[in-house]
Structure 1
Amino acid sequence: MANNHHGADQESRVAVLVDCDNTTPEILEYALRVVAQFGRVVLRRGYGNHTTLANKWQEALVRLAFTPCLQYQYAAGKNTSDIALALDAVEALFDERADTFCLVTSDSDFAYLCRKLRERGATVHIVGEAKSPDALRNASDQFFEWVKPEPVVEQPQAASKAEAAKPDPTKPVAKQRPLFVVEAVALLAADSSEGKVSVGGLGSYLKRADPSFSPKKYGHSGLLDMLKTYDLLKVQQESGGHWTVRLASTVN
């Protein structure tokens, strides 16, 4: 099955399998944004022991609709989660439930799984941290390195009573330009030979990355109207009548 990043009659089916014992919950939203360009996510599973899943991972797995896959440790120091993840990945491939896999891990033990999946025709992406060894990076079709973001310290501001009051529903919503739209264009355009992406393809990607996404939520009548307000983006109509968008910095 051919991969189509911008949607098609037959989209790639993506499985996102997370080695929770080996990484941090903060990586999960980044992983979902990355894989949204490759197709429809049909499997979301997080693997770990009781301590991992019941504590630091519980909030993220629930909020992002992942199925927790609890693996008890049968002996001290033994990790059964890796075997469970690998077996589920092979089973999903053979059952034809998924043809594209995103493994969220920095553990080189998964390099062999990556090679076996690819031998069977699957596409394998890995989202990992800087500590990921070359043996793991090179076993995938594409490796995405997650870097822990620097904490943002906001200066406290004294809000007046008027500002603290509930917004007036009769007033139009102020137009906003969220940065994640620019990040989405940069991600998709980087995979394009012309450095641009169709507005329709961008819309499909944004919906996959965040099912609740709507330009109206940010005060815009539609996605094209929204994109035209960005200084960092350049929108243009092509000869065929469709619209494309690229980063303004890439325009000659």
Structure 2
Amino acid sequence: MLAESPLRIALLIDADNAPADKLDEILTELSTLGVINIRRAYGNWTKAGLQGWQARLLEFALRPMQQFDYSKRKNATDMAMTVDAMELLYTERPDAFGIVSSDADFTPLVMHLRAKGAAVYGFGAKQTPMPFVNACSRFLYLEALGSGHADGTLAAEEVSEVAAQPSAERVEAPPVPVVRAASLRVPTQQLRQDSQLLNLLRDAVNATQDEDGWARVGAVGTQIGNKASFDARNYGYATLTKLLAATQAFEMRDEGTSRVAVRDKRQGRAP
């Protein structure tokens, strides 16, 4: 049986709304999904504020796309990126797009790309408007990039969660070292006060549970991914398993293995 071909990814960066010092982490993240065939960064490179990008463009083989401002106090970068993304969609036909920006103006573009069958992985700052975040197949806050295991390895349950994702939009992270620094975790008390998060997790567990109330974490992750743009690292946890455990709202079984499963504690107390 032939091995499944890796995803072909087009990376488009809004340099006016993205920090150059996060390029390494962004490329590391996307490289776990597939091959980044197209790498472009858009901006008005005559601006002094973008001078810090030159060394990074050369270091990571990014093609700079020049876009002059057509009016004062308004850049045209977002329109240039949108036009190119549409052209790439119908000519090069990448399997997925990486969109780096905190600008909600890209929301209609992301919705169109996904409607045509392309996965969209978004990267932006924490202040990124939620319509853009939710439109993406998966959105990762730049502040959360770099979270992971101290030794740079993937835990067994993390590999299981990754493998369970739908093939069209799954995050295919091979079991190889990925060096990331730890990020600040949202404490349990704050997680438990986040009713939207708890409802999302509980609904996914309920939808995938067996007759005893247990749900495989991989299946829970798939259910969430089909419903919303979600990444446990945005809360400071390397895996969905660790986030579920941190909420203290679920019983855990077979932790540290590919069979890790969870059950809503409220159901466990039911007669």
**Would the alpha carbon gap of residues 69 and 182 (structure 1) be closer, same or farther in structure 2, given more than 3 Å must change?**
same
Name the count of aligned residue pairs: 172
Q: Does 1:250 align with 2:250?
A: no
Residues 68-111 of structure 1 show CA distances to partners (whole Å, capped at 9, x for unaligned) of 11111122122111111111111111013412001011110100
The equivalent of 1:167 in structure 2 is none
Deviation of the 1:202 alpha carbon: 2.7
Counterpart amino acid of 1:118? R
Q: Does 1:182 align with 2:153?
A: yes
- Alignment partners' CA distance in 2, 1:45 and 1:39: 17
CA contact (8 A) 1:17 1:46 kept: yes
RMSD between aligned alpha carbons? 3.2
Could you list the runs of 5+ residues in structure 1 that have no partner in the other structure? Answer: 1-6, 151-177, 195-199, 207-248
**Would the alpha carbon gap of residues 180 and 132 (structure 1) be closer, same or farther in structure 2, given more than 3 Å must change?**
farther
SS at match of 2:109: helix
CA contact (8 A) 2:16 2:50 kept: no
The equivalent of 2:80 in structure 1 is 84
- Alignment partners' CA distance in 2, 1:52 and 1:188: 43
**Would the alpha carbon gap of residues 11 and 181 (structure 1) be closer, same or farther in structure 2, given more than 3 Å must change?**
same
1:201 paired residue among 157, 174, 185: 174
**Would the alpha carbon gap of residues 122 and 106 (structure 1) be closer, same or farther in structure 2, given more than 3 Å must change?**
same
Q: Does 1:27 align with 2:33?
A: no
Task: Tell me whether 106-115 or 55-64 shows the greater mean CA deviation.
Answer: 55-64
Task: Tell me whether 30-39 or 116-125 shows the greater mean CA deviation.
Answer: 30-39
- Alignment partners' CA distance in 1, 2:67 and 2:155: 35
Give the TM-score normalised by the residue count of structure 2.
0.55
CA contact (8 A) 1:124 1:140 kept: yes
**Would the alpha carbon gap of residues 190 and 59 (structure 1) be closer, same or farther in structure 2, given more than 3 Å must change?**
farther
**Would the alpha carbon gap of residues 95 and 53 (structure 1) be closer, same or farther in structure 2, given more than 3 Å must change?**
farther
Q: Does 1:146 align with 2:142?
A: yes
**Would the alpha carbon gap of residues 185 and 85 (structure 1) be closer, same or farther in structure 2, given more than 3 Å must change?**
farther
Instruction: Give the structure with the larger helix fraction.
Output: 2
1:14 paired residue among 9, 25, 45: 9
The 5-angstrom pairing of residues 161-172 of structure 1 reads none
Could you list the runs of 5+ residues in structure 2 that have no partner in the other structure? Answer: 166-172, 179-254, 261-271
- Alignment partners' CA distance in 1, 2:153 and 2:50: 35
Q: Does 1:137 align with 2:137?
A: no
Counterpart amino acid of 1:98? P
- Alignment partners' CA distance in 2, 1:250 and 1:122: 33
The 5-angstrom pairing of residues 32-111 of structure 1 reads 32-50=27-45, 51=47, 55-111=51-107
Deviation of the 1:134 alpha carbon: 0.6
The equivalent of 2:237 in structure 1 is none
Deviation of the 1:191 alpha carbon: 2.0
CA contact (8 A) 2:25 2:145 kept: no
Counterpart amino acid of 1:181? G
**Would the alpha carbon gap of residues 134 and 87 (structure 1) be closer, same or farther in structure 2, given more than 3 Å must change?**
same
Counterpart amino acid of 1:92? L
CA contact (8 A) 1:185 1:202 kept: no
Deviation of the 1:193 alpha carbon: 4.5
Percent identity, please.
Answer: 30
